[in-house]
Chains A and B, each alone.
Chain A
Amino acid sequence: DVKVTQSSRYLVKRTGEKVFLECVQDMDHENMFWYRQDPGLGLRLIYFSYDVKMKEKGDIPEGYSVSREKKERFSLILESASTNQTSMYLCASSLGRGGTSAKNIQYFGAGTRLSVL
């Protein structure tokens, strides 16, 4: 089974702190994604990566950056946390992308619930 592991289930940080959210997948997937999920808004894509050291902005990248130094690890960075970044953060990975192949199914981690005070 695919396993996507997020380093923390719950995190409490203060405004202005630099925050690192870590995600590791064990299936040699090419693609990794960071989403945030808020009530009434659904999942929104922050950043994604197709390859090591490669990153692309999603729909809401402002206030975030990412790092992918190794294929299995994708980190989300909040440079200066703000209260409006309080949310559930979900990491996902997929083997393929595009077309109709089922191999582009995204597998999600358990999520990190971040509270910024």
Chain B
Amino acid sequence: KNQVEQSPQSLIILEGKNCTLQCNYTVSPFSNLRWYKQDTGRGPVSLTIMTFSENTKSNGRYTATLDADTKQSSLHITASQLSDSASYICVVSPNSNSGYALNFGKGTSLLVTP
């Protein structure tokens, strides 16, 4: 079973517009949640990491929010640029000493058009 669900599966927006990507998870207990950006044909790059006690974390035009009570996270992209076109992956780490035990979402594919 997939413990990390992302929505929408894909999204097309106009350059300059804002958008929000969603991540719902059932992983429990929970250690931290990360958002990665993966350009086509490249490896994922970390955007943000939040522990269960953090509500928001920003990285430039990217802002991630976390509601540990409802087990939901969102990634908000402000004033989108063409270079934001990529897949965005939500990754949840359970609270254990096994740092390898990551739960990956299947990603949201974002296309920013001129």
Contacts and interface: CB of A to CB of B under 8 A. Distances in A.
Contacts of B43: 4, 90, 92, 108-111
B54 to A, nearest CB: 9
Contacts of A33: 100
Given A43-B89, A90-B44, A100 B51 contact: yes
Interface in A82-117: 90, 92, 94, 96-100, 102, 104-111, 113
Which residue among B44, B51, B100 has the maximum number of chain A CB atoms within 10 Å of its CB? B100
B98 interface: yes
Q: Is the interface on chain B under 10, 10 to 19, 20 to 34, or 35 or more residues?
A: 20 to 34
A56 interface: yes
Interface residues of A, number: 30
B102 A106 contact: yes
Given A56-B100, A108-B44, 16 more contacts: A4-B43, A33-B100, A43-B89, A44-B104, A45-B100, A96-B99, A98-B97, A98-B98, A98-B99, A102-B49, A104-B93, A105-B34, A105-B46, A106-B102, A107-B46, A113-B41
